[in-house]
Structure 1
Amino acid sequence: MLDWLLSRMAGCTFKQLTLEDGRGRVVVLVHRRSCRKKRMAGSSKGSCLIIVSSHSDGVLAQSFIHSFTLTHSAFNVQLAAPVAKAIDFIKQDDNSRKWLNEFRTKPFATPVRLETIEASRYSALLFPDAPGALHDLSSNSELANIIQHFIHEQKPICAIGSGVAALCCVKDKYKWGFSNYSMTGPSVYELAQSSGFGEIPIILEDFIKDNDATFSGKFWCFFLYFI
């Protein structure tokens, strides 16, 4: 399902859709304005910014591999994180471990710091599933500026699983930037089953409901596309 969504990030336009696969529904949300494809000067590809967590709770290996593989085929990909260090991948199996060992040898494998990112250079924004996002992305001011640029410039945003927590940073004392949207992510029940539940600084389901948005734990991918 993610490959279908990411293909739309590469340039196709569509109206509001609800898709369903064997693991649960995916809701695609769209804005009312026209989509404008953003390309870097001198490049035949657009550029996708993948933002990951630097926290020790890490990034889900399979989610990252799927996200990176699909976006890399259609975009020039840049990784960014709060700290410029190797990504902590969790829930690896033999296949993902082999892929990641090869990936780590690449010059682009280490994310650059968020503060160095010039958002106008990128045409799409993606957050893989990352439990660490609940800790270091959900209130990051540098990230808030990046997301606000994507909203203002009507560029696509995709957040998967716990990566949706990254969107929580777009909030001032009056309003959250994604109020009135239908949002996705892990439920309170799912988070409560994790060993570090007592240390989580933000409960995503509660945050979404408290800030005038609609939550469903059945959906695991939030996709905002502007048409």
Structure 2
Amino acid sequence: MSPLWMPYDLAASNEVALILAHFMQHSKPICAVGHGVAALLATASHPQQTSWPFKDVCLTAPTLFDQSLDRDFSQCPVLLEDGLRDGGARYTGAAPGAPHVVIDRHLVTGQNELSTLTAVQNLVLICNQLK
């Protein structure tokens, strides 16, 4: 498996599902950037969830086009844009290679690595508001 696809292991993690469900239930800040957004999919199939906690939440992740640019695309275990939309998230994406950050309540998501700084800065602002 390409190292690029390693974050997709998080999408099948029961532990990640429990943590994220707890964070959503208690409105705790969450930040995910690029392929790390795959972790949000872990809560979709967790047995203790009655509905996906990210349904109707605005977010972003790499677009299908972004993912298709990788030479190992055929090995990609999850098409993020499709998975998020299928779960009921309100997905938006920008042009490939452009920074794009979406903030919805206490969830901050970034489309790609170029979005990291802006995403983390917004996470810090959200955390500071909680003090």
Aligned to 1:143: 16
Aligned to 1:164: 37
TM-score by length of 2: 0.65
CA contact (8 A) 2:11 2:40 kept: yes
Displacement after TM superposition at 1:220 (Å): 3.8
1:198 aligns with 2:74: yes
Q: What is the SS of the residue equivalent to 1:158?
A: strand
Tell me which protein shows more strand as a share of its residues. Answer: 1
Distance 1:222 1:163 in 2: 14
Q: How many residues align?
A: 100
Q: Deviations over 1:23-63 (max 9, x none)?
A: xxxxxxxxxxxxxxxxxxxxxxxxxxxxxxxx7615xxxxx
Displacement after TM superposition at 1:222 (Å): 4.7
Tell me which protein shows more helix as a share of its residues. Answer: 2
CA contact (8 A) 1:185 1:205 kept: yes
CA RMSD of aligned residues (A): 2.4
Task: Give structure 1 regions of 4+ aligned residues with deviation exceeding 6 angstroms.
Answer: none
Alignment of 1:202-213 (within 5 A): 202-213=78-89
Q: Structure 1 residue aligned with 2:91, among 215, 218, 224?
A: 215
CA contact (8 A) 2:85 2:91 kept: yes
Task: From the superposition, tell whether residues 133 and 222 of structure 1 become closer, same or farther in structure 2 (CA, over 3 Å).
Answer: farther
Q: Show structure 2 runs of 5+ residues with no match.
A: 107-125
Q: Deviations over 1:50-97 (max 9, x none)?
A: xxxxx7615xxxxxxxxxxxxxxxxxxxxxxxxxxxxxxxxxxxxxxx
Aligned to 2:3: 57
CA contact (8 A) 1:186 1:205 kept: yes
AA matched with 1:166: A
TM-score by length of 1: 0.40
Task: From the superposition, tell whether residues 222 and 160 of structure 1 become closer, same or farther in structure 2 (CA, over 3 Å).
Answer: farther
Distance 1:222 1:57 in 2: 25
Q: What is the SS of the residue equivalent to 2:12?
A: coil
Q: What is the SS of the residue equivalent to 2:37?
A: helix
CA contact (8 A) 2:2 2:72 kept: no
Distance 1:132 1:217 in 2: 22
Identity of aligned residues (%): 31
Q: Show structure 1 runs of 5+ residues with no match.
A: 1-54, 59-130
AA matched with 2:81: E
Distance 2:7 2:86 in 1: 19
1:177 aligns with 2:53: yes
Displacement after TM superposition at 1:199 (Å): 1.0
Alignment of 1:102-117 (within 5 A): none
Alignment of 1:21-170 (within 5 A): 57=3, 131-134=5-8, 136-170=9-43
